Structure 1
């Protein structure tokens, strides 16, 4: 049994009756027994598809609001479970993916490239992501390391788009 399987998870009832768990666990995608972060990022893709055509100011507002709500929901959920950054808390991956895709070219290949780049940086946690992940706690800490991974992924995606254009 791996570490994630031993950690407490919200019950199905809690997941669907407590907003903080429902959103923090990515509408249930974070309940996946293996690779919940990957499943959370996958859950972000159809939502991105719905918001991709927002105007620049509205997309930035979308990112700001989902980040702020994520700080709140992830903090509440982690405190209720008494586990900092529970692997099943995947709202941070979702917002990270949406940030990665900011100003990305349209198309499924770009969505896939953004997914792969974000997962690479989220898993590897290059400096200073890993240090921030260890030092900043609460909802802000849960969200911040994925936002930084998204910034790295965004820079790579934008460079790739520029290079291919």
Structure 2
């Protein structure tokens, strides 16, 4: 494996997390949960960084195979989960983190509407975009929950 290929693999697997079993996507989502301690702007910035790095790494790893979405590529889950976490207030508690995690995983697995459309796209776009959309939908619901629930619950 060339040095560039090794870096792309490390990014795509989030440092090897994508090789954990079972449910590598859930592991990829869980590994970024501590970022909530950094606050919403940091989560948003990290989501953008992982999205850009994920496009690069996924393109590099998959090459011309535009139909592949291997389970060991979890940078997309990390990016989407960070988007969901960005909707939480600074100092969010465990309930908020759990809600953001569960909503993101449900949208990532069920693939409603725009998430399903993005999943049907080919190459790095399809690999990354479905999780970005799932994260955005989860973030929208987290924001709705924050507006509907008494302050401090999430």
Q: TM-score range by the shorter chain?
A: 0.7 to 0.9
**TM-score using structure 1 length:** 0.78
Q: Does 1:142 align with 2:121?
A: no
The residue correspondences of 1:34-73 to structure 2 (distance < 5 A) are: 34-46=22-34, 48-49=35-36, 51-52=38-39, 56=41, 60-73=44-57
Deviation digits for residues 105-136 of structure 1 (CA, Å, limit 9, x no counterpart): 312221111001100000000012112211x2
For residues 51 and 20 of structure 1, do their structure 2 counterparts lie closer, same or farther at Cα, with a shift above 3 Å needed?
farther
For residues 83 and 127 of structure 1, do their structure 2 counterparts lie closer, same or farther at Cα, with a shift above 3 Å needed?
closer
Aligned-pair distance for 1:51?
3.2
C-alpha separation in 1, matches of 2:38 and 2:51: 15
Quick one: which of 130, 139, 145 aligns to 1:154? 139
C-alpha separation in 1, matches of 2:24 and 2:128: 15
Contact 1:76 1:139 (C-alpha < 8 Å) held by counterparts? no
Aligned-pair distance for 1:155?
1.0
C-alpha separation in 2, matches of 1:50 and 1:101: 10
- Structure 2 unaligned spans of 5+: none
RMSD of aligned residue pairs (Cα, Å): 2.3
Aligned-pair distance for 1:59?
5.0
Pairs aligned (count): 146
SS in 2 for 1:34: coil
Contact 1:129 1:148 (C-alpha < 8 Å) held by counterparts? yes
- Structure 1 unaligned spans of 5+: 1-12
* Aligned twin of 1:26: 14
